[in-house]
Each structure stands twice: as structure tokens, then as C-alpha cells.
Homo-oligomer: A and B are copies of this chain.
Amino acid sequence: MQEFSRHCKHPVTHLALSGGIGGAKLSLGLEHVIKSPKLMIAGNTGDDFRHLGLYISPDLDTLMYTLSGRSDPERGWGLANETWSFMDTIKEIGGETWFQLGDRDLATHVERTHRLNQGEKLSAITSMLCRKYKIEAQIIPATDDLLQTIVETNEGVLSFQHYFVRKQCKPTIISLKFNGSEKAKPCIGLEQVLNSSKLETIIICPSNPFLSIDPILSVKGIKEGLKKSRAKVIAVSPIVGGIAVKGPTANNLRDLGYPVSALAVAKYYSSFIDGFILDKRDEDDASRIESLGVKVCLEDTIMIDLKSKIRLARRVLDFSKSI
């Protein structure tokens, strides 16, 4: 009950829901501003999969590597100062090479898989890794239970990583399914936080609404928790200037029949958010978002460096207090 004891000592005041790269950028800003376990970041686990027998959790890893200052700034995923001897050799012996695994990154996967196979929970393992990586915030998986994003596309039904990495998001999405979501429960620390009176703000990071945030919200009780919580729920737009900052968000909106706009994302979230951080470039959407009953805060949301991440994080917290 690591999470529980940390939670008791430091009641969580801020909860972020996050996918990978974009969410991790804002989470890093939040970590710098809050600097304590009072910040909890619930990561998407719908992308998790077993590869070469290893349990890989791309979003939790991106969060951990980013918040510990170890992520590779060029690639956007994996660790800095990475080496690739393992992949070179896997290629030589005819193993699968479509998913890149760095030598340092492998330590996370091997240790985690070993512990999972011995019966430890993903949340406890993530908590242990965060301690080792000296991360002050609490990173947890949205759920310790099975949750698998399945992508129905014009090229057939694909597991998430097959769509995302192997097919490079090229197929057109028809629908999404989160296997296991009917049974999955929020992990224990997250459930406590959602019910806590100390929680002030819930931040929906600028992650992909369909591929990163929806899997989290598909876990029993999380969406309801957001609605019931006394905390302010603030979403940060993943759409800037009418396009996605990174990844397939724009294509996904189009595929699923939505306009590619910040407004469309705000509408999609409108039943459970109180505020929406809109990029200044999308100012035209502001009044229509407000007419949904959602407060709007205009801001430059592009996070090119640590300074801009911290600035956006502060803005999110100030905005939350103001509404």
C-alpha cells in the first residue's frame, strides 16, 4: 500500500490524466510547480502490451522518463544516452524489430515484467520505479486491471501498437474499443483521490482524447468520479491552430466524424469539464465553447521548453482557482 501511505502523508490536491508525450510535457510543468506527492498523474494503460514476452507500458514510461529528466529530447520517447546493442542483436537472430527497445529502457521492462509475473501490481511497481527515479509526483496507472485499446480500422481490427507503431497510424479508424474496461477498476490510490475532499483540480492533459484519455475514462467509476468530484476539472486543448501538436489526434477527429478543432474537443469533454485551456491561435472558438457552459482560458499552449511547460502549468492552476 505504498500509494496509500504516501497519500495519507501528502493528500493529493492535483490529479492529472495523461497519455504519453503531450501529457508528459504538461505533467513535467506541473511537477516543477507543485514539487510534491500532492500531484498525482494517472497514466493511460490502454497502450500497454506484451512484446517479446516483456510487459511494456509506453505512457507510464514516457511519464517516468520525462519527469525524471531522462527522456530523449530528440526522439520524444525512450531514454536519453540510450544504446541499441539489444535491438542490433535481436535483428541478427531474426527476432521482431518493429518495436524499438533501447538497452536502458529494457531494464524497466525486464524488472517490471519479472515483478508482475511474481504477482506485484503495476501500480506498486510504478511507484517503486518513481522512487528510484526520484520523482516527487505520484505516477500511477489508471487501473491495475487489464485494459487494451483495440482499433477497428479500414485495414481490420488492430491492437493499439500495431495501429500506432507498426502501421504508423495510417489506417482510418472506424471505432475504438477498450477491452477489459467493463471489469477494470481504478487503481486503489486513484480511487481514493477521486473521492477525496482535498482534491482541488483535475487536469485533462493535452493528450489524444480518443487514444489516451478515453481509455482512462472507460475504467469504471473514473468519468463518474470526475463529474462527482468537488475539484475543478480543466482540460488543456490538444489542438492548436486547428491542427494536432503531435500524433494522430487530427486524423482521429476526422475519422470519427468530428471537425478538427479545439471546439470539437471541448464539446467532446463538455459533460465533465469546468474549464478549457484554449490556445490563442484558436481564439475564434472561445465563445462557442463558453456557450457549452465551459469556462475558457486563452493561452499559448505550445510547450517548446521547460519554461513554457512551467508557465502553462501555472496557468492551469491559476485558472482552476479562478473558477
Asked if B53 and A93 sit within 8 Å, CB to CB, the answer is: no
Q: Which residues of B contact A79 (CB under 8 A)?
A: 89
Asked if A93 and B107 sit within 8 Å, CB to CB, the answer is: yes
A224 at interface, CB cutoff 8 A: no
Q: Which of chain A's residues 235-280 have a Cβ closer than 8 Å to chain B?
A: none
Q: Which residues of B contact A298 (CB under 8 A)?
A: none
For the residues of A in contact with B, the DSSP-based class is helix
Q: Which of chain A's residues 103-129 have a Cβ closer than 8 Å to chain B?
A: 103-104, 106-108, 110-111, 113-114, 117, 128-129
Asked if B106 and A106 sit within 8 Å, CB to CB, the answer is: yes
A182 at interface, CB cutoff 8 A: no
Asked if A90 and B103 sit within 8 Å, CB to CB, the answer is: no
- Complex CA–CA separation, A89 to B133 (angstroms): 10
Q: Which residues of B contact A82 (CB under 8 A)?
A: 85
A304 at interface, CB cutoff 8 A: no
Using an 8 Å CB-CB cutoff, how does the interface string of A61-93 with B read, 1 for contact, 0 for none?
000000000000000000100110111111011
- Complex CA–CA separation, A86 to B103 (angstroms): 5
Asked if B111 and A86 sit within 8 Å, CB to CB, the answer is: no
**CB within 8 Å for A114 and B52 given contacts A89-B107, A95-B107, A132-B93:** yes
- Complex CA–CA separation, A88 to B83 (angstroms): 12
Q: Which residues of B contact A94 (CB under 8 A)?
A: 128, 132
A174 at interface, CB cutoff 8 A: no
A176 at interface, CB cutoff 8 A: no
Q: Which residues of B contact A129 (CB under 8 A)?
A: 93
**CB within 8 Å for A88 and B104 given contacts A83-B83, A129-B93:** yes
- Could you tell me the distance in whole angstroms from the C-beta of A179 to the nearest C-beta in chain B? 21
- Complex CA–CA separation, A185 to B44 (angstroms): 47
- Complex CA–CA separation, A106 to B117 (angstroms): 19
Q: Which residues of B contact A133 (CB under 8 A)?
A: 93
Asked if A132 and B85 sit within 8 Å, CB to CB, the answer is: no
A302 at interface, CB cutoff 8 A: no
Asked if B106 and A86 sit within 8 Å, CB to CB, the answer is: yes
- Could you tell me the distance in whole angstroms from the C-beta of A118 to the nearest C-beta in chain B? 8
Asked if A86 and B107 sit within 8 Å, CB to CB, the answer is: yes
Asked if B88 and A111 sit within 8 Å, CB to CB, the answer is: no
Given contacts A52-B110, A89-B106, A89-B107, 4 further A-B contacts (CB under 8 A): A85-B104, A90-B111, A92-B132, A93-B111
